[in-house]
Amino acid sequence: MQRTREIFGGILIGGALLASHAPARAAEHVTLRNGFDLICDHQQADGERVRLFLDSGSTNFVDVDTGEIVGVEHVDLPKAQNSKHAATAEDEKLTYQAMHEMLARAGEAHDLDVDLLASVVRAESGGNPHAVSRTGAQGLMQLMPKTAADLGVDNSFAPGANINGGTAYLDSLLKKYHDNLALALAAYNAGPAAVDRWHGIPPYRETRAYVARVIHEFNRRYAARMAEQKQVASIKPAVGR
């Protein structure tokens, strides 16, 4: 059993991307009420829902309520193949199974439960590898550019690199706070300096909600996994009878 079951006690349109001299293509910078910013190739309205397509194809999209969109700004982006941070095949073909395998490999490398990592990803980005927060955190596990650089992550929008970096960072925080999951998650959200200054979870509504949300989701996922394993074990035919 991985140790995390025992411990309950800047944006995409900036920097190198715009520095390229490649021919530009039209896109939209969409700001959501939850704090995430997306680069949208095009969108399609359907009643009170809007489908935001993250590339020129029809399979990579995010569905949101129209009321969740607080701003849309036209931007010009270089062609992706000429950009240092271009979307790779890994970005474009990310599936639930592919993400699970990435999380499992990262979790195994750092002895962290895959359900914990999946819960962090859900809380941080909703599983969107292109997510960018208002503060500039990027990708699936919402790495700040400086944190990503310190972790050796060159492209935070590459799912595998982002997950590996985010997992390594969470592992370092768990070690710093002696496997206290709540403190590690608070530090992941608000920064270690805030946790150290307040000698515990900072009294920030967002941080307290974040910690509760991740732990609740982790417990839910873990309980479901244990129930599934128990059910599978109960229906296995007896051997040797």
The total of other beta-carbon atoms located within 10 Å of residue 227's CB is 10
Of the chain, the end-to-end C-alpha distance in Å amounts to: 31
Count of H helices and E strands in the chain?
9, 7
Q: Sign of the CA dihedral 73, 45, 39, 107?
A: positive
Active site residue 101: no
Identify each DSSP E strand in the chain by its residue range: 24-32, 36-40, 42-46, 49-53, 61-65, 69-78, 132-133
Residue at 16: amino acid letter: A
Beta-bridge mates of residue 38: 30
Which one of 68, 124, 206, 217 is the catalytic residue?
A: 124
- Who contacts 25 (Cβ-Cβ below 8 Å, separation ≥6)? 76, 77, 78, 79
Q: Which residues are catalytic?
A: 124
